[in-house]
Structure 1
């Protein structure tokens, strides 16, 4: 029996309700707000799981809030949709968000009641915004959730107000994401002024490829590209990740940045389907640029959390490259890698946060020998690193294999760029693992805290996810990634659901041979080359000039980063107009 689509609002309402209750109940105990958060996110996860059998079974459901349905093909109200792509991101957000709140209950249990209440409030608002983004079929509501996520992220980044660098990171984030929000708002207004529509399905039917439509697309790409941390819109990301508390960094990198790339994929493949000739020119440049430059910046970092943050820029570039390729295999790999990134990057940031929390150190040059003192964090970090590196049978191997298959013949330049980025990523994370965990350190650490149960559960669940999604790739492809890709590549079907109806896409899962010799050779080659680069870089006394140049471009000035965003926007608009 099909679940009533009217329940689609509940996974958004529950965490918002929890956000309201958390500070109000904080006077009872510092743990009550986080327990309320766990109940709210657990309830949201349960409701989303109710839709899973129908949605992954082939249905795309739409619900107009207030039962304000379309009139003469025009949707006047707000529409929510349940389809495999959005549901996948919503489930990732709810489940991993629950784990992060459980981790917070353990690691941040020393917070005062007032601080715990507001921490839980902000975290739930951010998670509600991401779930809302996943389920929204309305451009204005994408903007609303963008702004809700932004406001919550400002509070979480500057949560420890006594730290000057946290305030500086919050200021940069506010300037750049407010600029991005302005881009999204103006792009939305342009489309509404021209077409009188905000519903994504209605827009898909009415877009004509006019100059206004293309300028709006450039504005939307720049706005959501900022949230995704894509170059050249990424200036806020490294500072925010390094300044925020450990669980918040994991939340930002594992889930929040995905909000931007989810919105871009929806717009590029479902809404602006008529412009598929021009869009790849943008996506297949921004994607490889972010992948290589982000990995190179990660290789040159001494701060562990900044290193992981720049690796997130690189991974977002890989995802955008797959969206730009636009084939069934590429988009299936994109969805698969989106799931994988949420798992392994959340795990890595929790490891980094645990290390910083226990030692008070953030710089790799100060660390060493942690494998003896922190065996659990060591094992989890190595597992996450191996997942990103594409070591079989972990999850990154399968998703990267699909992306490689899609790019190899049709987009050889992008394929080469992704491989180069992969090699540098292996080197960067391998260097971090060596310096932090295995390098000899003569000075001993102060007595380290015993790991609490909530942290153990979070570490174990994320590590198990990295393994599980790697050993059952055929199941993931057939039942999760391929149905999601089918909706993204069926704009008419999605439009029918977005106009408060139903659709039934018929996915044809791409061919995928887990033991294909060429993909095994690519994986082994990238890992071997990455380890050799890591060994060379660790022994090298002087920094390579290309990394020095990239670091100098990142001046730390918010004015420079805003200028990069404006130049990126103008370039995107010029290319789209030239190729239209």
Structure 2
């Protein structure tokens, strides 16, 4: 396949789920499960097309393919048309979206297959719209088009969050996510407008060339608005107020889609802005991103430790993990960025797995609180094993994928001599281990005398979803060398070599300079970190279980998180102002 032919296929992975979204409600009237079957086929087709294009993107150290809609290509460096561009960073996210969402649809065939034809048709439609938006955001090379996919994802997420509308928590959660993401969308829209007004461009490559010459005050304000808007989608602190309620209220596969994939849209967008659009040497965006990442990692981990509801615990851990992703990007080193991209995939896998475990527990018992669970290891060993795999991957235990990605981020922080952020990240990791260890003890390991009122069997689709994600968690940990050399190092090159990325987008294709990323599985420092973190995390979990009252940091964070949408909206607005002020002052 020629480069031009591969580039012309870029819209297809987005068009397939969009087509499936249109067909799903219609086919549900013929046979209700057809809605989910056509969804699985459409998403599998997207995965196949992306896999067909991938060798052109990852081969020879990495490259970029571009396709201009309607043939409206650049003229003397000026772009009028909308461009799709596949670089290794975006392609990695797109492949993760297509592959994992296919498993989530298979899982939904069992968990939600008993719904009526109207409900299943609507669910399949919204689900595919959201996945199409995520893949589109991964492949777009146009800032306004990125805003459009942001909005498509937002609209689909409102419906999926409030899917079980008869539950009061679902209605409240849908309202919160609507309010906060609308503020975020407005910030993104205004930021894009400011850049277009000042620089006359919306294409990411053309913006890079324009901003390389000069970055004015309006550009810094635009960057602050865009960063805050996409940080809201990512659930980074202080923009995370919507996340816990939305993840808790949604059905299990939707929570997995939100936490494993949707929040990564914000991380990918911020990464593109920080490296491929704005000159990091003259704009202090990475320092701002590092602070946001550290605060998110610590805040999310601490709140996760304090939760009694399993899905809410996992939701706050998502806040922590997106903070880790931000820290990796902010290192500005090849190891850290490769580790962040690796962790983006790992987070999509292990968090989707954990939310499916939580969904299966709720589906089979009707219980959401950890304090009311127990004995699940003996009753449902498959679910227990899947949960342990996901938790171990988050903890960074070899041979699971989390060990590799976290080690690379640690190396990135060490290479850039950022030892205080490294220490704070390790503290957040310790608290995360305690939170998940406490959850594993309460739900699976301790005994429960009485039987559950509802004990539904684990159905085939649920088993396929859980086992598929668990196997992937192992696969990304067992074969790190091939993954780093052929996927993650090229992804880091695409971000670090923004000039070559911009030239390739404007030229229609191009190669990226090779980047070397070294990983040592037997690094004694990393293995020591794992052992010490596990021991201290276990002690913290034990101490928290025996506590007489909540520690002061937990009480303070609980007091701030009132659940009021007004307060959370105020946090978002304050965050927008703080990011703009930091960029302007430091710049």
Do they fold alike, i.e. is TM over 0.5?
yes
Written as runs of structure 1 = structure 2, the 5 A alignment for 1:388-427 is 388-409=394-415, 410-427=417-434
Q: CA deviation at 1:275?
A: 4.8
- Distance in 1 between the 2:493 and 2:11 partners? 24
Q: CA deviation at 1:540?
A: 1.1
Q: CA deviation at 1:277?
A: 4.8
Structure 1 equivalent of residue 324 of structure 2: 318
- Deviations 1:185-227, CA, capped at 9 Å, x for gaps: 0000000011110000000000121000000000001100000
- Deviations 1:275-300, CA, capped at 9 Å, x for gaps: 55511220110000000110000000
Show structure 2 runs of 5+ residues with no match.
none
Structure 2 equivalent of residue 128 of structure 1: 132
- Distance in 1 between the 2:443 and 2:408 partners? 32
- Distance in 1 between the 2:507 and 2:568 partners? 41
Written as runs of structure 1 = structure 2, the 5 A alignment for 1:47-446 is 47-57=49-59, 58-207=62-211, 208-275=214-281, 277-409=283-415, 410-446=417-453
Structure 2 equivalent of residue 546 of structure 1: 553
> Please, which of 476, 485, 508 is the counterpart of residue 515 of structure 2?
508
Verify the 8 A CA contact 1:268 1:276 in the aligned structure 2: no
Report the more deviating stretch, 309-318 or 510-519.
510-519
- Distance in 1 between the 2:283 and 2:502 partners? 20
- Deviations 1:9-36, CA, capped at 9 Å, x for gaps: 0000000000001111211111011111
- Distance in 1 between the 2:464 and 2:360 partners? 14
Structure 1 equivalent of residue 32 of structure 2: 30
- Distance in 2 between the 1:45 and 1:12 partners? 10
Verify the 8 A CA contact 1:75 1:202 in the aligned structure 2: yes
Q: CA deviation at 1:447?
A: 4.7
Q: CA deviation at 1:332?
A: 0.7
- TM (normalized to structure 2)? 0.98
- Distance in 1 between the 2:480 and 2:76 partners? 44
Verify the 8 A CA contact 2:234 2:266 in the aligned structure 1: yes
1:491 maps onto 2:498 in alignment? yes
Structure 1 equivalent of residue 534 of structure 2: 527
- Distance in 2 between the 1:309 and 1:107 partners? 20
- TM (normalized to structure 1)? 0.99
Change (3 A) 1:435 1:276: farther
2:65 partner SS: strand
- Distance in 2 between the 1:497 and 1:37 partners? 34
- Deviations 1:415-473, CA, capped at 9 Å, x for gaps: 01110000000000000000011122222112511211111111111000010100111
Verify the 8 A CA contact 1:79 1:499 in the aligned structure 2: no
- Deviations 1:19-65, CA, capped at 9 Å, x for gaps: 00111121111101111111111111110000111111033111111
- Distance in 2 between the 1:275 and 1:454 partners? 49
Report the more deviating stretch, 269-278 or 416-425.
269-278
- Distance in 2 between the 1:448 and 1:441 partners? 14
Change (3 A) 1:255 1:555: same
- Distance in 1 between the 2:121 and 2:515 partners? 47
Verify the 8 A CA contact 2:137 2:149 in the aligned structure 1: yes
Verify the 8 A CA contact 1:209 1:275 in the aligned structure 2: no
Show structure 1 runs of 5+ residues with no match.
none
- Deviations 1:291-321, CA, capped at 9 Å, x for gaps: 0110000000001000000000000001001
- Distance in 1 between the 2:282 and 2:199 partners? 20
- Deviations 1:493-530, CA, capped at 9 Å, x for gaps: 11123225212112222221110111111111111111
Verify the 8 A CA contact 1:224 1:261 in the aligned structure 2: yes
1:273 partner SS: coil
2:67 partner SS: strand
- Distance in 2 between the 1:42 and 1:510 partners? 31
1:293 partner SS: helix
After superposing on structure 2, the runs of 4+ consecutive aligned residues of structure 1 that deviate more than 3 Å are 274-277
Verify the 8 A CA contact 2:64 2:505 in the aligned structure 1: no
2:374 partner SS: coil
Verify the 8 A CA contact 1:327 1:406 in the aligned structure 2: yes
- Deviations 1:55-95, CA, capped at 9 Å, x for gaps: 11033111111111111210100000111111110010001
- Distance in 1 between the 2:573 and 2:46 partners? 38
Change (3 A) 1:40 1:500: farther
Verify the 8 A CA contact 1:61 1:500 in the aligned structure 2: no
Structure 2 equivalent of residue 479 of structure 1: 486
2:66 partner SS: strand
| Pairwise CA RMSD | 1.0
